Amino acid sequence: MENKEKILVTGASGFIGHHMIGFLKDKGCFVRGADIKPSSFNDADEHLILDLRDFNNCKEATEGINKVYNFTANVGNISFVDKFRAQVMRDNASININMAEASRQSKVERIFFSSAAGVYPTANQKNGGIVAFKESDAYPANPDNEYGWEKLFSERLYLNYEKEFGLKARIARFHNIFGPEGPTEGDKAKPIEMFCSKIAKAEDGDEIEIYGDGEQSRSFLYISDCIEASYLLMESDFSGPLNIGSEEEITINKIVDMISEIAGKEIKKTYIGESQGAKGRTSDNTLIKEKLNWSPKVSLREGLSKTYLSIKNN
């Protein structure tokens, strides 16, 4: 173990954190996981059950660590972040401030921060079919919800920890990551996993509910591509922020149709007047192609097929 690189993954019980742990273990790293809850995957070398809103817990998690992948966040679907705005801002700001300072004190070499596409301005997201967002489009700042504002603040926090203290920061803006082993129901479920679960359980001709009118558009990135790009960014000399996403934009209605086709079922849609988030948002990958020579390998349809089959079988 002494010769292995020691890496901390926070949010280790979560979707992205769990997949990153498996990837790093395959690389031969020693991986410590940290989360507020136990892991059902048991894939890290050690798993610490810690509330990272507490600085002392962050200090414990980072002791003896070379690199940190910080995925911990209080987040859910659009209804969740709209309902619990103060809690989301308070919890996530506390976690990110504590992790930055604990990493500095523990002499961590570099830290990865998972920001989000929610940092991009509201005014540019009112209509579907928009031009993809470049990293520079985040300013002048006006994110579409408080979750996005906190992410933007934390981006600046980590960049300034690098400038002032030399803690190398690697910042990614994730665009709708999906795949097997993500939550399929409740406030934490994301659209693709939730639709896959509902369609797997549905009979031919059944209806499923969609927030808004279903014409809101997004790009979705399969989990293995996200993990690969995150690792490449962490190991690179580029601090970011850097989009990690797909440029393949699609409406929610078409996502449901595609999953229904994969399932071999006729599924009807009903619409409910709850939050639908931004009307249109996708990723411009020009900068990540230039800096990391990276592009997604898994098409949307292939990723949907893998995700649907995994959820259906499990």
Catalytic residues: 147
Residue pair 102/55 in contact by the 8 Å Cβ criterion: yes
Q: C-alpha distances in angstroms, 239 versus 124, 207, 258?
A: 25, 45, 36
CA 15 to chain centre: 8
Alpha carbon 287 to its chain's center: 19
Q: Which residue from 251, 242, 246 is spatially nearest to 282, judged by alpha carbons?
A: 246
